[in-house]
Amino acid sequence: MLEPALLPTPLADCTDETLARAGVELRLKRDDLAHPLVPGNKWRKLAPNLAAAVEGGHRRLVTFGGAYSTHLRAVAVAAAALGLESVGLVRGEELAGRPRNWSLRAAEAAGMELVFLTRAEYREAAGRAGEGPGWRWGPGLVLPEGGSNGLAVTGAAEIVAELDDLGGRDVVCCPVGTGGTLAGIAAGLPRGARALGVAVLRGGEGYLEAEVTRLHREAYGREFDGWRIDHGHHGGGYGRVPAELEEFAAGFERRHGIALERRYVAKLLAAVHDLAGAGAFPPGTRLTAVVTGLPDPVGP
């Protein structure tokens, strides 16, 4: 059995000097505390897909991810708890013969079969999504990279449903990797409130916006406005943590006593502070930053 999530997740006030000078409030939506094994936005996005898998009689989940994919680990754990098989198609055939990093070890320990693909094979497999003569990984429910599909968007919209006091002064913020969490937040907002996504990958201008729009259509059959994506705080690319970002994250942890995941959450909070310091938010704005995941464990 898969343990239930601890919902609603807590809200923590977190305004500091930079934000106070700008007249901006900050609170953290602690989705990193949602579930002990399937943390953060992964629970939000996976829960409706897992329900669909069980209701549809699927015996296997097949999904995609990189070497440190939280999504792969989450799918592996959730599938095992539900008695399902899981297959993870991993980007990078060169990883097959190397010692497993902590993330891939965790996925395998939970029972996931890892299949290492070249980048070209990975793109082709992701494009086929379980269909066509080139699909070699058997029957099952196929989940996209990051778990972002229409069902996932409806799950992420529940974040906003737990924020019952949103209005015209509110901006709900989240990191953006594949767009599913931002799409859900934007779809769930009441009139007047806005959503801000912070891209964690380089070169996503236009592409990520198109993905969010596509996910809105898939989930709800319509588009939503009141959201935008900041592309200036990716830190040099996906998975990169430059020295200045590490310095910001360490300082934030000292001031607020909250450990930060670096590849997504630290970039989000650094962007919020930079934008507030530059006057991007009118005085009186209240920001709610969604903490989407846990810090990596110490070790290789």
pLDDT digits (tens, 9 = 90+) for 261-284: 999 999 999 999 999 999 999 999
Q: Is the pTM of this model over 0.85?
A: yes
pLDDT value at 210 more than 60: yes
| β partners of residue 29 | 11, 290
**145 Cβ contact partners less than 8 Å away, ≥ 6 residues apart:** 63, 64, 65, 69, 71, 126, 178
What are the Cα distances from residue 277, in Å, to 17, 200, 300? 10, 20, 36
Q: How far apart are CA 127 and CA 264, in angstroms?
A: 25
Question: What average pLDDT does the structure give for the chain?
Answer: 93
pLDDT category at 132 given cuts 50, 70, 90 is low
Q: Is the peptide bond before 8 cis (omega within 30 degrees of 0)?
A: yes
**Residue at 278: amino acid letter:** A
- The predicted-structure confidence for 100-109, as pLDDT tens digits, reads as follows 999 999 999 9
Q: What is the CA radius of gyration of the chain?
A: 19
- Which tens digits make up the pLDDT trace of 164-183? 899 999 999 999 999 999 99
Q: What is the pLDDT of residues 81-96, one digit of tens each?
A: 999 999 999 999 888 9
Mode of pairing for the β-strands spanning 227-230 and 194-199: parallel
